[in-house]
Structure 1
Amino acid sequence: MATRLIRDLKGLRVQVLHPPDTDGMRLIEHLRRIGCTCEATWPLPDAIDPSASVVIAAIEQENRDKILDLFLPVESSDPALLAVVSFEDPSTLQIVLECGALGVIERPIRPFGLLTNLVIARSIWLDRQNANKRIRKLERRLTSNNQIAKAKAILMQTQSLTEDAAYDSIRKRAMAKRIPMDELASAIINAHELLTSRPSDE
Structure 2
Amino acid sequence: MKHALRIVVIIPDMALGDDQEEHVQQQLERSRSLRMGLLQAQYDVVATLPADVFLSERIAQLRPDLIIVDAESEARDALEHVVVATRDERRPIVLFTNDQDTSHVPDAVAAGVCAYIVEGLAPQRIRPILQVAMARFRHEESLRAELKDARDELKDRKTIDRAKGILMQRQALSEKDAYDKLRKLAMDKGIKMVQIAQRMIDAAELLG
Coarse TM-score class (shorter-chain normalised): 0.7 to 0.9
Partner of 2:200: 188
The answer as to 2:78 corresponding to 1:57 is no
Match of 2:28 among 21, 33, 40: 21
Matches within 5 A, 1:1-202: 10-18=3-11, 21-46=28-53, 47-48=55-56, 49-50=59-60, 51-61=63-73, 63-64=74-75, 66-72=77-83, 75=87, 77-91=89-103, 93=105, 96-97=108-109, 99-107=111-119, 109-196=121-208
Task: Report Cα offsets for 1:91-135 as digits up to 9, x if no partner.
Answer: 564774565422133447211221111011101111111112112
Mark the CA change 1:121 to 1:149 in structure 2 (over 3 Å): closer, same or farther.
same
Mark the CA change 1:135 to 1:68 in structure 2 (over 3 Å): closer, same or farther.
same
Amino acid at match of 1:112: Q
Q: Structure 2: how far apart are the matches of 1:183 and 1:98?
A: 35
Mark the CA change 1:92 to 1:131 in structure 2 (over 3 Å): closer, same or farther.
closer
Q: Is the 8 A contact 2:69 2:79 kept in 1?
A: no
Which range moved further: 79-88 or 160-169? Answer: 79-88
Q: How many residues align?
A: 188
Q: Is the 8 A contact 2:75 2:97 kept in 1?
A: no
For normalisation by structure 2, the TM-score amounts to: 0.78
Q: Structure 1: how far apart are the matches of 2:112 and 2:166?
A: 46
Q: Is the 8 A contact 1:23 1:107 kept in 2?
A: no
Shift of 1:185: 0.6
Long gaps (5+) in structure 1: 1-6, 197-202
Task: Report Cα offsets for 1:31-59 as digits up to 9, x if no partner.
Answer: 12222110342543331513122111122
Amino acid at match of 1:35: Q
Mark the CA change 1:94 to 1:135 in structure 2 (over 3 Å): closer, same or farther.
closer
Q: Structure 2: how far apart are the matches of 1:125 and 1:65?
A: 20
Q: Alignment identity in percent?
A: 24
Long gaps (5+) in structure 2: 13-26
Which range moved further: 20-29 or 69-78? Answer: 69-78
Q: Is the 8 A contact 1:103 1:117 kept in 2?
A: yes
For normalisation by structure 1, the TM-score amounts to: 0.80
Q: Is the 8 A contact 1:59 1:96 kept in 2?
A: no
Mark the CA change 1:120 to 1:187 in structure 2 (over 3 Å): closer, same or farther.
same
Q: Is the 8 A contact 1:104 1:117 kept in 2?
A: no
